[in-house]
Structure 1
Amino acid sequence: MGFLKSLSADIGIDLGTCNTLIYVRGKGIVVNEPSVVAVERGTRRVVAVGAEAKRMLWKTPGNIIAIRPLKDGVIADMDTTEKMIRYFVSKIMPRHGLIKPRMVIGIPSCITDVENRAVKESAFKAGAREVQVIEESLAAAIGAQIPIHEPAGHMICDIGGGTTEVSVISLGGMVVTNAIRLGGDEFDQAIIKHVRSVHNLIIGEQTAERLKVEIGNASPEKNIEKVEIKGTDAITGLPRRLEIDSVEVREALKDPITQIVEEIKRTLAQTPPELAADIVERGIVMTGGGALLKGLPKLISKETGVPVILAENPMDCVAIGAGQYYEIFKDMSIDRSVYDSLNN
């Protein structure tokens, strides 16, 4: 068995609502593609996966449907998820390989037992020899190079596409954790809703995402940026252009951002005083694609009075941490089997 493990690849997977990232030990991030699968209607034959499939979203002919198989950080379509994982793994693993990989998958702490089993089952069907699941915030902490085994408090806020998870970690485990099914997707939906209600213009998710990335912000800035967008007039049904500025986008994002700030405050309030003192000194580490929203770390620091640090390559942290799971827990002073028994 030890010989098999030495030959087997350890794969860390961030099975995200928006993007799937795969980390292979010794190689780094080898897959970073949208979590989208295009299938043939009726036969369910896979036509495209990842970036190619995303380009087909809302643009497919009647016989092809583009599916996002994950919603709010969990599997909404198990069959399609399995096909997606299998496709991505086949891109990085030799087809003639005799040894199946060990997979570690980051999952939101708020998922149910049924959803947890669905993740594991999809991974086994996709060709895994062994499957472990790890909470996204713990994986993100490992990926952000936080020394999680220390007897000190570390707070991490991971904002993904479908979920936001806020945790306090000490001695390799989570002391306090809270999660809400809200993330980058909700930012996009808030922009869509605002543009429709204020300007009577219907825009798609890709346009909303472009606004979020290009001029989205959480804190007021000196320079007001503007972007021209195109959509459908809600009254006439005709195509129309609109110029929108960063002040308006910030207003549109106010509600979901407020919910995330409140979740961080709630977690801080639940943190034991000794660990809270460590967090005030060390700060809150932010990971996930949502953490890249301009001005968000600054706003959270202002609202909580705690320093906020944006992790290096925040979008990669969960996949990296999942991929380093075996290595980290092997070296830790606590027994990994105890941790696993609590999470299986």
Structure 2
Amino acid sequence: MGFFDFMTEAIAIDLGTANTLIIHNDKVVVDEPSIVAKELRSDEVIAIGKRARQMHGKAHKGITTIRPLKDGVIADFHSAEQMIRGFIKMINRKKTLFPQALKMVICIPSGITEVEKRAVMDSAEHAGAKEVWLIHEPMAAAIGIGIDVMEPEGNMVIDIGGGTTEIAVISLGGIVTDKSIKVAGDEFTNNIKNYMKTRYNIAIGDNMAEKIKINVGSALTELDDPPPNFAVHGRDLMNGIPKEVVVTYKEIANALNNSIEAIEAAIMNALFTTPPALSADIYNTGLYLTGGGGMLRGLDKRISQKTKLPVYVAEDPLRAVARGTGIALKNTSGFSFLIQ
């Protein structure tokens, strides 16, 4: 290890719409919701991550909660910078006589524009990074689940995050075909909130919708191992009184159907535009699901029925992108697909 290496600390960041994960020394050291709570008058950050999420929808008028990312990209530059800086402070970094430079590898959606890409770079630099590399999310996901992305073999990865679903065919260290749509976990949450409003005349918050998604979320109306019904608490829109209703997984499957169909259509489009030689590979390797949305009950089976291909949910799909970003962090000189 040279002097420069000693004076540099390296971190990998999965900067997601819903959650941010940071890898340091090969370990996930930060796994927090991508949300900031601020005092309105002073713009001072009073909480980030889990603590800020607890405040979401419950704070008085003097406090606001902000999700700095929308649809996979930075929507609030200043808040994103504050959030990244706050998460970095959570890391137990080495104590040295001189301040250490920060090297970062950050994942980005494949459909990102140059302006959006620059916003990520600028936010990282303002948060203290001296060297910033970017990696596309599907590439990071593929690396994170153990695919050798440098091989001349086609692999399709479907990463369903909070803001976007990223679909890519990867071969020889590059993305051959990609499709990015703004239908993912956040849209599932909105589907559930709208369903509760129209079906039961009840208003629920994001946190309750998230609980519904986790407890009874499904892509199919018929499951071999169905979850128990779930009690939902919200506000009656007719009289304002707190109310409880019980929902089933079949209801939620119907509520999510349009969004699932949009993801299926994007997958079919990506398959249609894949070169024939790589299509032959994918027939043998199947499709890989990563991201939090990939954990939705029955989604793998439904996509398999649609594509007539085997579909595999990655082990620990929530951390696949972070793991791949962490591996890229150690190979910045060897991975030509990284962006600087």
**TM-score w.r.t. length of structure 1:** 0.93
After TM superposition, list the pairs within 5 Å mapping 1:71-90 onto structure 2: 71-90=70-89
Q: Paired residue for 2:253, among 243, 250, 256? A: 250
1:90-169 equivalence runs, <5 A: 90-92=89-91, 93-94=93-94, 96=96, 98-169=99-170
Number of the residue aligned with 1:177: 178
Residue number in structure 2 paired with 1:13: 13
Counterpart CA distance in 2 for 1:278 and 1:226 is 41
Deviations 1:90-138 (A, max 9, x none): 2213465622121011111222211111110000011111001111111
Aligned position for 2:49? 50
Aligned to 2:303: 300
Check 1:279–1:48 CA distance in 2 against 1; reply closer, same or farther (3 A cut).
same
How far apart in 1 are the matches of 2:3 and 2:60? 50
The aligned residue for residue 38 of structure 2 is 39
Task: Report the Cα distance in structure 1 between the residues aligned to 2:223 and 2:84, rounded to whole angstroms.
Answer: 41
Which residue of the partner structure matches residue 23 of structure 1? Answer: 23
- C-alpha deviation, 1:224, in angstroms: 6.2
Paired with 1:230 and 1:327, the residues of 2 have a C-alpha distance of: 46
1:264 maps to amino acid: I
When structure 1 is superposed on structure 2, of 159-168 and 319-328 the one drifting more is 319-328
Task: Tell me, yes or no, if structure 1 residue 263 matches structure 2 residue 257.
Answer: no
CA contact (8 A) 1:19 1:32 kept: yes
**SS of structure 1 residue aligned to 2:258:** helix
Gaps of 5+ in 1: none
Contact conserved, 1:10 with 1:323, CA < 8 A, in 2? Answer: no
**Amino acid corresponding to residue 250 of structure 2 in structure 1:** V
* Per-residue deviation, residues 59-87 of structure 1 (Å, max 9, x unmatched): 11222111111111111111111011111
2:132 aligned partner, one-letter code: V
Contact 1:14 1:20 in 2 (8 A): yes
CA distance in 2, matches of 1:298, 1:194: 24
**Separation of aligned partners in 2, 1:139 and 1:27:** 15
Residue-pair matches, total:
336
What is the deviation of 1:7? 4.6
CA distance in 2, matches of 1:143, 1:151: 18
For 1:255 and 1:172, the matched residues in 2 are separated by 34
Relative to structure 1, the CA distance from residue 35 to residue 95 in structure 2 (aligned partners, 3 Å threshold; closer, same or farther) is farther
Q: Which amino acid aligns with 1:53?
A: A
Q: How many angstroms apart in 2 are the aligned matches of 1:167 and 1:136?
A: 9
User: In the alignment, is the contact (CA less than 8 A) between 1:12 and 1:321 conserved in 2?
Assistant: no
Q: CA deviation at 1:225?
A: 2.8
Deviations 1:214-244 (A, max 9, x none): 1111122144631111111122222211111
Distance verdict in 2 for CA 1:95–1:163, change over 3 Å = farther
Aligned equivalents of 1:143, 1:239: Cα separation in 2: 44
**8 A Cα contact 2:156 2:167, kept in partner:** yes
Does the 8 Å CA contact 1:4/1:99 hold for their aligned counterparts?
A: no
CA contact (8 A) 1:232 1:240 kept: yes
Q: Structure 1 residues 40 and 329 mapped into 2: Cα distance closer, same or farther (>3 Å)?
A: closer
2:276 & 2:237 partners in 1: Cα distance? Answer: 53
| Secondary structure, counterpart of 1:32 in structure 2 | strand
Q: Which moved more, 1:318-327 or 1:225-234?
A: 318-327
Task: Specify whether residues 45 and 139 from structure 1 end up closer, same or farther in structure 2 by C-alpha distance, changes over 3 A only.
Answer: same
Offset, 1:320 = 1.6
Q: Which amino acid aligns with 1:317?
A: A
CA distance in 1, matches of 2:53, 2:227: 31
Structure 2: distance between partners of 1:134 and 1:149: 15
Is the contact made by 2:11 and 2:329 (CA closer than 8 Å) also made in structure 1?
A: no
Task: Identify the residue that residue 230 of structure 1 maps to in structure 2.
Answer: 233
CA distance in 2, matches of 1:230, 1:90: 36
User: Aligned-pair RMSD on alpha carbons?
Assistant: 1.7
Instruction: Give, in whole Å, the separation in 1 of the partners of 2:149 and 2:119.
Output: 28
- Does 2:64 match 1:62? no
Q: Give me the whole-angstrom Cα distance separating, in 1, the residues matched to 2:59 and 2:203.
A: 19
The residue identity in structure 1 corresponding to 2:212 is L
Structure-to-structure mapping, 1:303-342, within 5 angstroms: 303-328=306-331, 330-331=333-334, 336=336, 339-340=337-338
The one-letter code of the counterpart of 1:40 is E
Q: Structure 2-normalised TM-score?
A: 0.94
Segments of structure 2 that go 5 or more residues without pairing to the other structure are none
Could you report, residue by residue, the CA deviation over 1:155-186 in whole angstroms, capped at 9, with x for unpaired residues? 10000000000000000100001100121010
CA distance in structure 2 between the aligned counterparts of 1:226 and 1:191, rounded to whole angstroms: 15
What letter corresponds to residue 106 of structure 1 in structure 2? C
Segment of structure 1 superposing worse, 140-149 or 216-225: 216-225
- Structure 1 pair 295/10, CA: closer, same or farther in 2 (3 Å)? same
User: What percentage of residue pairs aligned between the two structures are identical?
Assistant: 43
